[in-house]
Structure 1
Amino acid sequence: MKITLRLLLFFCFFNTVLHAQYESNITYGLKFGGLHSTISNLPESIKGRDNTFDNSVMQSKGAYGLEGGFFLNFKLYDTRVAIQPELLFRQSGEKVTYKDALGKEFELGLHYSYLQIGALYKVYPYQGLNLGFGAFYGISLSPNNITYKSNEANGMYDVATRQFYKDGLDGADDFSLCFAVGYELQESIHFDLRYYLGVKDVVKSNASSFQFIENQNKTSVVSFSIGYSFHQW
C-alpha cells in the first residue's frame, strides 16, 4: 500500500510537469550507468557481542552495482535552471571480509536493490555544463539478498550460515541527498557523475541467537551514467 501511494504521488508530479509545457522546455529520456557503494559501520554491527571475534579482522570492501531508469528534465522559462525528476532502479550494498588467527575466512555480501524516486535542481553555468542538488527515496526491493562464502569445512556450512544472516539482518528503505555534476552534448547525449549521501539507517537487526549490534548503517554511493534525451530544449 505504501509503495502504491509513493508511486501515485510521483506520477502525479510527472503529470503536473507535463502540463507545464507552455512555460517550460521539456526533455525526457533514459540513463544507465555503474556505481560503487558502501554501508557505514557494518563490521561493528556484525561483530555484535561475541567475544570469539576479538582476535579477528573484519573489513568493508564496498560493492559495485548498476543504476538506470527514466528522467524528465524541464528548464524554467528564460533561465539557466532546470528541475529533473527521475525514476531509477539501483543495485547497491556492501561486502565485508573476515579473517581470524585460526585461519577462518569468509565474505559476506549485502546486495540490495531499490526503486529510486527523486529529483534534482540543476543550474547550467556554461552551455551544457550543469551542477545539481537533490534528494532520492529508495524503496527496498530485495531486503534479504545476502551472500556468504567461507573456507570453513570447504563451505559445508555456508548455506546454513547465509540463512542465519538473512534471518538476522533486514535491508530497509533508503533516503539520500544527491550532489551531481554533468555535461549535456547537443546530440542529446549527456554524462553524469554523482555522489549520494545516505541519511537513513538501511540495515535493521532482528532478534536472533547472535546478538547483532543495532547501529546507524548509512549508504554512500558514487555513480557515473550516460543518458540520452529524446527531445532537446
Structure 2
Amino acid sequence: MKVILYLSIIPFFFNTLSYSQNETNITYGLKFGGLSSKISNLPESIKGRDNTADNSAIETKGVYGLEGGFFLNLKLRDTRVAIQPEILFRQSGEKATYRDAVGKEYELGLHYSYLQIGALYKVYPYEGLNLGFGAFYGISLSPNNITYTSNESGGLYDVATRQFYQDGLDGVDDFSACFAVGYELHQSIHFDLRYYLGVKDVVKSNASSFQFIENQNKSSVLSFSVGYSFHQW
C-alpha cells in the first residue's frame, strides 16, 4: 500500500507542473526553518496499565527540530488564489521526564523524522500577504529513534532500557491538517508561519512484557520558515 502511495507522488507533481504551465503562473523554490513540536498523551502510554500503583509523575515538553524542502507555487490566472504542493523533510517528537518517590529519574525522548508530502490552498488578500490551509502526509523515516538517560546506577542500564523502549514503541506515519499565514516579498523571499494539527496516532505500542497503553498520540507542530523562489510570477 505504501509503495503505491510513494509511486503516485511523482506523476502528481509532473501533472501539476504540466497543467500549471498552461493555466497558471508558476514559481518554485526551496524553504528552510525551525519548529517546536509535541505528541499528546505520552505519559499515559509509557506508564502502562498499572499507572495508579506507584507514587510517580511524568512531565512532558516539546522538542525543537528542522523543516525544509521543495515547493511549487501555482497561482491561478486573474485570481488571488494559489495552490502550493510541497515535499519537505521534518523533525518532530516529544520528551518525557519521569520522577518517583524513591528518587529515580529518567528522560525518554521520541525524535521522529518524516518525509512530508502535501499541498496548501492559498489566498492573497493584500499584495504578498497570504493565508493558507491544506493537508500533509508524513512518511516515517526514523520509527525507532528514541533516547533514554537516567540516574539509576549511574546510567548502567540505560542502553538496555533504551532498547526496551525502541522495541516497544514505534513511530508511524503522520497525517496533519495545516494552517498557515505568510508574506512574499518582490525579491523572491517569503516568510511562512504554520501550525500542523495531527489527526492520527503517531506512536504504535508493540506487544511486550510491559503493558504499554495504546491510545491516540497525536502530533502538533508550530513552524517558521524562510523560502526563496527561483522564478517570479
* TM bin (shorter chain): over 0.9
Unaligned runs of 5+ in 2: none
Name the CA distance, whole Å, in 2 between partners of 1:50 and 1:156: 25
In the alignment, the residues of structure 1 paired with residue 195 and residue 54 of structure 2 have an alpha-carbon distance, to the nearest angstrom, of 34
Q: For 1:207-233, what per-residue CA distance to the aligned partner results, in whole angstroms no more than 9, with x for missing partners?
A: 111100001000000000000000011
Give ranges in structure 1 of 5+ residues lacking alignment: none
Report the Cα distance in structure 2 between the residues aligned to 1:51 and 1:17, rounded to whole angstroms.
51
Task: Give matches, 1:116-127, under 5 Å.
Answer: 116-127=116-127
Q: Distance in 2 between matches of 1:51 and 1:12?
A: 49
Measured after TM superposition, the shift of residue 59 of structure 1 is: 1.0
Write out per-residue CA displacement over residues 29-87 of structure 1, whole angstroms, 9 at most, x where no aligned residue: 00000001000000011111235863111011111110000000010111000000000
CA separation of 1:227 and 1:45: change in aligned 2, threshold 3 A: same
1:176-187 alignment runs, 5 A limit: 176-187=176-187
Q: How does 1:109-148 map to 2 (within 5 A)?
A: 109-148=109-148
| Equivalence map 1:29-178=2 (5 Å) | 29-50=29-50, 54-178=54-178
Tell me, in whole angstroms, the C-alpha distance in 2 between the residues paired with 1:224 and 1:174.
Answer: 19
The residue that corresponds to 1:12 in the other structure is: 11
Greater mean deviation of Cα atoms: 105-114 or 49-58: 49-58
**Does the CA-based 8 Å contact 1:47-1:53 persist in structure 2?**
no
Tell me by how many angstroms 1:6 deviates. Answer: 2.4
Percent identity at matched positions? Answer: 81
Distance 1:142 1:185 in 2: 36
Q: What is the SS of the residue equivalent to 1:62? A: strand
Match of 1:224 in 2: 224
* Aligned length, in residue pairs: 232
Which residue identity is paired with 1:36?
S
SS at match of 2:180: strand
CA RMSD of aligned residues (A): 1.2
- Distance in 2, matches of 1:109 and 1:53, equals 24
Task: State the 1:200 CA deviation.
Answer: 0.4
In structure 2, what is the Cα distance between the partners aligned to 1:54 and 1:225? 43
2-structure distance, mates of 1:105, 1:7: 42
Contact 1:201/1:216 (<8 A) preserved: yes
Query: 1:152-194 deviations in whole A, cap 9, x for unaligned?
Result: 0110000000000011101110000000000000000000000
Letter in 2 for 1:129: L
Question: CA offset at residue 22 of structure 1?
Answer: 2.0
Secondary structure, aligned partner of 2:8: helix
Give the TM-score, by structure 2 length: 0.97
Letter matched to residue 144 of structure 1? N
TM-score, structure 1 normalization: 0.97
Counterpart of 1:225 in 2: which secondary structure? strand
